[in-house]
Amino acid sequence: MLTEQLLAPVPGGTGRYTRELLAAMAASPPPTWTVAGVTATHRDLSAAAVPDVAGPRALPLPGRALTALWEKGVHLWPGGDAVHAPTPLAPPAPRHGRCLVVTVHDTVPFTHPETLTKRGAAWHQAMIRRAAIRANAIVVPTVAVAEELAEHAPGPATVVVVPHGVPEVFREEVQPAQVHATTVGLDLPDAYVLAVGTVEPRKGLDVLIAAMAKPYAPDLPLVVVGPRGWGEVDLTALAAEYGLAPGRLRVLGQISDTDLSVVLRQAAVLAVPSRAEGFGLPVLEALAVGTPVVHTDVPALLEVAGDAGVAVPRGDAKTLAATLRAVLDDGPGTQRRVAQGKLRAAAFTWEHAAAELWRLHTRFFDMASAR
């Protein structure tokens, strides 16, 4: 498996996917199969090391040069019978009967290119189209992405829907000592509206801040968790622009999964104001810990949350503000959705995702061996 995303400056949700899936596949290989991680050359590979996974094996080129060679069709890979690329960055279709499976997390480069850099949108479009033609299979996390992929990047590759899972840290009981340590260490308010995700234009945090500044929004602080991405989204400046009272915005940046588990559980509600998503891991993680969720009507978010979340139109700050307040005021309805959410989240496991990926890889390997 290509583990280059674990070494990215901002690994983001695709980094979490890479690590969780890699660990789950390494824990359940078919007989005679083993798992190894592969990266480009870096000074420090420690972030790409995963327990029980061989490597990481560094290819003899830095990331940019390696990507350029792969784009030209050069077959540079350290061996193995199957290749899994957990993002559209992938080597050419492998030789000698090996199979290539590529995960495409979303179709944002096609549907919302304005939320990416021009170069980033163009590169992702090209890589996804190439995967649709050259890979044996493309894995997507939702039916919504599969349908959009068929429209924007059709090709002969088999498309398989394999949802993400919930990491164990969000399923386990949290000890009071950990709750206390996280609450004190992060100086968390007693109650708050929470947003989780990379701080970039696609996440719609400007709409959420505008919503929280409305007089009918919940009279609570807004806590934002996640690393800074591209786009120079200045949350403090947005708070001043929209009139969110000083002190009501708390930006925590990137935190550990252990702390995030506590922060999610302590939140009054999770707000997901995204303009586009392919899955929405924070939605699933909030459902797993029993936190109410208000999200936009992005098709993938509707698919993941089901009836357990409350949907609002994208870009509508007024409706978002009113809905956040309504969810907090509607005790019985919210508790019913929370119970539904826990049951729904229980069906999403990384073990299931790994089993589906193994089934896919062994199927194409067996087909190639039979030829």
pLDDT in tens, the chain (371 residues): 999 999 998 888 899 999 999 999 999 999 999 999 999 999 999 999 998 899 899 999 999 999 999 988 888 888 888 999 999 999 987 665 578 999 999 999 999 998 888 999 999 999 999 999 999 999 999 999 999 999 999 999 999 999 999 999 999 888 999 999 999 999 999 999 999 999 999 999 999 999 999 999 999 999 999 988 877 889 999 999 999 988 899 999 999 999 999 999 999 999 999 999 999 999 999 999 999 999 999 999 999 999 999 999 999 999 999 999 999 999 899 999 999 999 999 999 999 999 999 999 999 888 877 76
Burial call 241-271: b when 16+ CB within 10 Å, e when fewer: ebebeeebbbbbeebeeebbbbbbbbbbbbb
H or E element at residue 318: helix 317-329
The pLDDT of residue 94:
67
For residue 45, what are the contacts with CB-CB under 8 A and spacing of at least 6? 7, 39, 56, 58
> Rounded to whole angstroms, how far apart are CA atoms 157 and 85?
14
Q: Does domain 168-346 fall into CATH 3.40.50.2000?
A: yes
Question: How far, in Å, CA of 139 to CA of 340, rounded?
Answer: 27
User: Which is nearest to 77 in space by CA: 53, 88, 97, 93?
Assistant: 93
Domains 4-165+350-370 and 168-346 share a fold: yes
CB atoms within 10 A of CB 367: 12
Sequence spans of domains, the chain: 4-165+350-370, 168-346
Q: Which of 78, 95, 68, 81 is nearest to 37 (CA)?
A: 78
pLDDT at 367: 82
**4-165+350-370: which CATH topology?**
Rossmann fold (3.40.50)
Contact, 110 vs 125, CB < 8 A? yes
Q: How many residues does the chain have?
A: 371
pLDDT for 369: 74
Exposed/middle/buried for residue 205 (C-beta within 10 Å: 0-12, 13-18, 19+): buried
CA proximity to 303, closest of 344, 352, 338, 351: 344
Return the structure tokens found at 41: 């050359």
pTM of the model: 0.92
pLDDT value for 53: 92
Q: Is 146 exposed, middle or buried (0-12, 13-18, 19+ CB in 10 A)?
A: middle
For the sheet with 99-103, list strands across it: 82-85, 99-103, 137-140, 158-161
Give the pLDDT confidence score for residue 81 in this predicted structure: 84
